[in-house]
Amino acid sequence: MRDTLVLNASFEPLSTVTLNRAIVLVLQDKAVVEQAHPELRMRGAAVDIPAPRVIRLCRYVRVPFRRQAPWSRRGVLVRDRHRCAYCGRRATTVDHVVPRSRGGQDTWLNTVASCAEDNHRKADRTPEQAGMPLLREPFEPTPADAMLLTLGAEEFAALPDWLATDAA
């Protein structure tokens, strides 16, 4: 996937995101296209727009000089796309892999999205003790992910189904 350069509202380069994420930001009116690919267009039932090569955020974001995103419950849910780490259904809570009562911390690598049932069932145990293996390992969001968290983009999303890429 080609990367798109993201400029702050002040035109200062911030980061790159995948083309998919760039399109989502434009469709959500969080960014405007500054420069488009000359040949590549995104086509769907309702839209036909040039694939952005450079986008600019509509709102100025202050980017802290840190490489990692600060941990937050909401950030964990967004990172995991609101999918339960134990059963894959919709998640509304955040579970500590190593429970806080056993010294587990509020960190990206120790927390996962979880449905309320599994969070309750796992209770004060590790996944091994509870016999509830993780469907995927938790990870640290990249700086680009962190920027999207700052923006509040709801999903680290793929394109809507109705959009397809094609080269003219």
Q: Which residues bind Zn ion (CB under 5 A)?
A: 84, 86-87, 115, 118
CB of 83 to Zn ion, least distance (A): 9
Chain Cα centroid distance, residue 148: 7
Strands 31-44 and 3-7: unpaired
CB of 153 to Zn ion, least distance (A): 24
Strands 3-7 and 48-57: parallel
C-alpha 98/C-alpha 48 separation (Å) is 47
Cβ closer to Zn ion: 69 or 84?
84
Phi, psi of 96 (to 5 degrees): -85, 120
Cβ closer to Zn ion: 48 or 117?
117
CB of 118 to Zn ion, least distance (A): 3
CB of 120 to Zn ion, least distance (A): 10
Residue 73: other Cβ atoms inside 10 A: 12
Contact 157, 19 (CB under 8 A): no
CB of 89 to Zn ion, least distance (A): 5
Phi, psi of 130 (to 5 degrees): -85, -10
Contact 66, 58 (CB under 8 A): no
Cβ closer to Zn ion: 45 or 135?
135
Cβ closer to Zn ion: 112 or 163?
112
Cβ closer to Zn ion: 45 or 116?
116
